[in-house]
Structure 1
Amino acid sequence: MRKRAAAIGAVFASAALMFSATPASAGEAGAQALSCKTSAGNTGGWAECTGSGQWRAKAVCNWESDKYSARVDQKSGTVRVYVPDCTISIERVVVELL
């Protein structure tokens, strides 16, 4: 019974994270003058960065390999990139600097 309750709690906690837009941390995007935010839904999501730098978005999928967007060589402005959909569910979207 405790295992079931823990599993249900984990599902609700994951769901809360999936539907919130979160800014990238300073360590992720600060080195290249980028300010980024991400969002994840049921199986997919996006990353949006403002500024300049090279980056890509990673979908951290549950129960399968992570999936990556195309690389972005951003000179200025704001760019939104969608990650490939996960098959079952997505945990979060992360911005990776290149």
Structure 2
Amino acid sequence: MLTKRIVASLVGAVAILGVTIPSASAGTQALSCKTSVGSTGGWAECTGAGTWRVVSICTGIDKYTSWITTTGGTTRIYAVDCAFNIERVQVEQK
């Protein structure tokens, strides 16, 4: 009975005061990224926090950088050069 009152009070406080209860979301990352591509290589630049890597989408076999974890600020990682032509550079998040 007491537990129901406590829960009801909390729900009421949320409704009246607009208090938000943070939800747990595993893997939520806040990254904003941009990429640039040249003839055989390029780069990706991400701002924010998260774990990511740069993928070179090549005419032949795709290339990958190592995973990097950033906690804030802006970080630029250069893509692994393709043997012939690069189609695009993309960011893959973990």
Q: TM-score, normalised by structure 1?
A: 0.66
- Which among 83, 87, 91 is matched to residue 91 of structure 1? 87
Partner of 1:71: 67
Q: Give me the CA root mean square deviation.
A: 0.8
Q: Name the CA distance, whole Å, in 1 between partners of 2:51 and 2:34.
A: 15
1:95 alignment partner AA = V
- Which among 16, 30, 33 is matched to residue 33 of structure 1? 30
2:90 alignment partner AA = V
- Give the fraction of aligned pairs with identical amino acids, expressed as a percent: 55
The structural deviation recorded for 1:37 is 0.1
Q: Is 1:50 aligned to 2:47, yes or no?
A: yes
The structural deviation recorded for 1:84 is 1.0
The structural deviation recorded for 1:70 is 1.6
Q: TM-score, normalised by structure 2?
A: 0.69
Q: Is 1:80 aligned to 2:80, yes or no?
A: no
Q: Higher helix share goes to which structure?
A: 1
* Runs of 4+ residues over 2 Å off in structure 1: none
Structure number with bigger Rg? 2
Q: Name the CA distance, whole Å, in 2 between partners of 1:81 and 1:34.
A: 14
Unpaired segments ≥5 residues, structure 2: 1-27
The structural deviation recorded for 1:60 is 0.1
- SS state at 1:86 partner: coil
Q: Name the CA distance, whole Å, in 1 between partners of 2:29 and 2:69.
A: 11
Q: Name the CA distance, whole Å, in 1 between partners of 2:64 and 2:77.
A: 10
Corresponding pairs, count: 67
